[in-house]
């Protein structure tokens, strides 16, 4: 496995692969790799000739300095895990290596993404601006590829699809053509969605966190019994969580085909249930399609 500490070297390697007629699968991560990340890498490996992974804890997407400081950093362990599953290349870098100048880092986004309507954006203002900024640079670094993202971060998948569409629509020939592949959420046998932040949960907190999966699952049961009203499904979720240790930010229903900042008032044909909250000082998010 090739390891590069500078995006320029990674970019050069990717271009060489394409020159040799190889297709590239790409997985963007912030490290502290778990089986959810590794599943994305393995799928990318199955569906492409070579696979590369970025490991970069992006300061632009943290709006809480403590959360950034406490984010686990396990680079050499991560590389060992990637090597074991035959990843071809891993790269990292410093924030300034990814941007030509300061303005590129901070300028407003060129479009107002739909993904920025409500929920994550409401509770983490500016988070998606930071995600867009770095993922755009990661895509430019890797170039034409299939990029694999987890549905666990549902709004993020919407955002990177909008980013890929935006890049594709640019007349500038240097903008890459990125095919986004959305992958299912990988869970522990208990149902808890795998997350790098789980490393910080105590045994007790890990048990308390199960309320998230249980609530999503029970909401799905309501849907299966015929309930189609967002407000009813949401109030069920909120009541279920009210008695738990989860400090709720949101428990919401959205129509994945008509994303909006508020609960849909129409009778739903498709619905996504989404939850975010804190167990102690650890922020957890999860979601589930009900249809």
Could you give the CA distance from residue 111 to residue 109 in angstroms, rounded to a whole number?
A: 5
In the window 13-72, what residues touch ligand AMP (CB under 6 A)?
29-30, 36-37, 40
Beta carbon nearer to ligand AMP, 28 or 233: 28
Q: Of the listed 6, 12, 34, 37, which one is catalytic?
A: 37
155 interacts with ligand AMP by CB under 6 A: no
Residue 37 falls in the annotated catalytic set? yes
Could you give the CA distance from residue 54 to residue 149 in angstroms, rounded to a whole number?
A: 12
Beta strand extents in 170-271 (DSSP E only):
178-183, 247-254
Stretch that binds ligand AMP, among 82-90, 132-140, 191-199, 259-267 (CB under 6 A): 191-199
State the minimum distance, in angstroms, from the CB of residue 157 to ligand AMP.
Answer: 7
Q: Which one of residues 149, 213, 223, 259 is an interface residue with ligand AMP (CB under 6 A)?
A: 149
Could you give the CA distance from residue 88 to residue 212 in angstroms, rounded to a whole number?
A: 35
Tell me what percent of the chain is helix, strand and coil, each rounded to the nearest 5: 45, 20, 35
Quick one: tokens of 56?
A: 């970069």
Stretch that binds ligand AMP, among 10-18, 147-155, 164-172, 254-262 (CB under 6 A): 147-155
146 interacts with ligand AMP by CB under 6 A: no
Could you give the CA distance from residue 144 to residue 22 in angstroms, rounded to a whole number?
A: 11
First to last CA, the chain: 41
Contact set with ligand AMP (CB under 6 A)? 29-30, 36-37, 40, 149-150, 152-153, 183, 185-186, 193-196
Q: Which residues are catalytic?
A: 37
């Amino acid at each position: 496995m090739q390891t590069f500490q500078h995006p320029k070297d990674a970019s050069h390697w990717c271009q060489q692969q394409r020159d040799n007629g190889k297709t590239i699968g790409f997985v963007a991560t912030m490290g502290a790799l778990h089986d959810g990340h590794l599943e994305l890498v393995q799928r990318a490996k199955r569906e492409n000739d070579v696979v590369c992974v970025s490991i970069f804890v992006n300061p632009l997407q943290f709006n809480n300095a403590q959360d950034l400081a406490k984010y686990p950093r396990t680079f050499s362990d991560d590389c060992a895990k990637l090597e074991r599953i035959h990843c071809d290349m891993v790269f990292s870098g410093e924030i300034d290596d990814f941007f030509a100048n300061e303005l590129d880092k901070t300028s407003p986004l060129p479009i107002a993404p739909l993904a920025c309507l409500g929920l994550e954006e409401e509770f983490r203002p500016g988070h998606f601006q930071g995600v867009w900024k770095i993922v755009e640079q990661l895509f430019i670094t890797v170039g034409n590829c299939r990029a694999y993202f987890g549905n666990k971060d549902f709004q993020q998948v919407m955002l990177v699809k909008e980013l890929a569409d935006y890049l594709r629509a640019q007349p500038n020939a240097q903008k890459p053509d990125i095919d986004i592949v959305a992958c299912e959420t990988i869970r522990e046998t208990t149902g808890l969605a795998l997350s790098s932040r789980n490393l910080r949960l105590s045994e007790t907190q890990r048990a308390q966190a199960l309320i998230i999966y249980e609530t999503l699952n029970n909401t799905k049961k309501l849907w299966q019994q015929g309930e189609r009203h967002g407000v009813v499904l949401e109030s069920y979720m909120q009541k279920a969580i009210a008695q738990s240790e989860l400090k709720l930010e949101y428990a919401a229903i959205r129509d994945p085909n008509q994303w909006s900042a508020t609960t849909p008032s129409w009778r739903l044909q498709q619905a996504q249930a989404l939850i975010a909250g804190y167990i102690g000082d650890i922020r957890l998010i999860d979601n589930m399609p009900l249809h």
